[in-house]
Amino acid sequence: MRDTVDKDAIVNKFMTAAGRLVNDEMQEWLNRGGRIIGTYCSYVPEEIIAAAGFMPFRMRAVGSDSTELSDVYLTHLNCSFVRHSLNMALKGEYGFLDGVVTTTCCDHARRLFDNFARKESFPFIGMLNVPKRNTEFQVEWFYQELLKFKQAIEKQFHLTISKDRIKEAISIQNESRRLQKQLFLLRTDKNPPITGTEALAASVSATAMPASKFNALLKVLLKELPTSGGRKNYRARLLILGGILDNPQYIKLIEDQGALVAADSLCFGSRLFWENVDENEEDPLKAIARYHIVDRPSCPHLLDAREKHIAFIMDLVDQFQIDGIIMERINFCDNWGFERFMLRNTLKEKGIPFLSMDREYLLGGTGQMKTRVQAFLETLEGDL
């Protein structure tokens, strides 16, 4: 009985953490005097922030209910995540942060830097330039950007980020990646002991807790999960593909129609932890640069990496016995709009059923979503 309680308690903790802006572990960190820096993209290296003594936190807008303030500065053609996030910043709901870092990966999020800088919203406001190609030249170029980023944090907070501290942070983060991948791979089973909803909650929680705390919780969960009952009687095994998706309730809506979300390629999902940073590289910043530009599964921002991303998706399809793919895209997302156009043709050629759904950041229009998912599942059942 005790093992079951431990498993359920940890799953519930992850689900709760994914549904809150500030979870219990974050609050405990803050109560101890810990500081937090928020990041708007997975290309911002958590290791540099952690090595400086901060907790890295992937920015979310959970709890937002309007964009009335941000609509003064952004248009309705901007991504709704960016609009909700800026609205929360203008309301002071990110007051627990000591800084934020945006990137050039997305023009919508890029505009946040201008607004934050003009409003002097945070003690530290940074922007990391991320290249659009993945050759050796871009690795070296990104390495120089990481040096500047490290120096900016050191200057702002009057501290020194040593090579040893970065290596230590890489080791801790690699452990988190290995644990998350281990959890993810459990869904290769015919009757996996964890759902897609629960798996996404875990990966979202990894971006919103001190890494050592998250790793300890996930170790316990992994120990107990294989002995628990598996998910059975699902209609099809699906892969969810797309950009920012930090709300497990979207996945639950799909699984409530009888599907099993057996795998994903998401900004808050497998692309975060599929590969590790090389711990044998003498210069840890070079290892981090290579990891982000060459080693890890990429998003559509890296134009030259598209074939590699297709290969990654196809490997997931084979390994997780995927029956169909659902792509989720926040309205007006340029990167994933282009990828959808290209991917649709690729998957058609490979004979893989594909459904594309546009959405807003806040969960809404659930009736229409349910209808489309049900129709897609009926199509898949006809092919199985």
Look at the domain 2-163 and name its fold. Answer: Rossmann fold (3.40.50)
Residue 340: pLDDT band (50, 70, 90) is confident
d(CA 134, CA 142) in angstroms, rounded, equals 10
Nearest alpha-carbon partner for 60 in 31, 21, 90, 9: 21
According to DSSP, the β-strands at 35-39 and 124-128 are: unpaired
The tens digit of pLDDT for each residue in 145-156 reads 999 999 999 999
Listed range (209-218, 277-286, 296-305) with the worst mean pLDDT: 296-305
CA 152 vs CA 97, 146, 257: distances in Å: 17, 10, 48
Higher pLDDT, 6 or 24: 24
The tens digit of pLDDT for each residue in 104-139 reads 998 888 889 999 998 878 999 999 999 999 889 999
Contact between 236 and 384 (Cβ < 8 Å): yes
Residue 5: pLDDT band (50, 70, 90) is low
The tens digit of pLDDT for each residue in 256-300 reads 999 999 999 999 999 999 999 999 999 999 999 999 999 999 888
Q: What average pLDDT does the segment 204-209 reach? A: 97
pLDDT at position 6: 82
pLDDT at position 123: 92
The tens digit of pLDDT for each residue in 223-256 reads 988 766 788 889 999 999 999 999 999 999 999 9
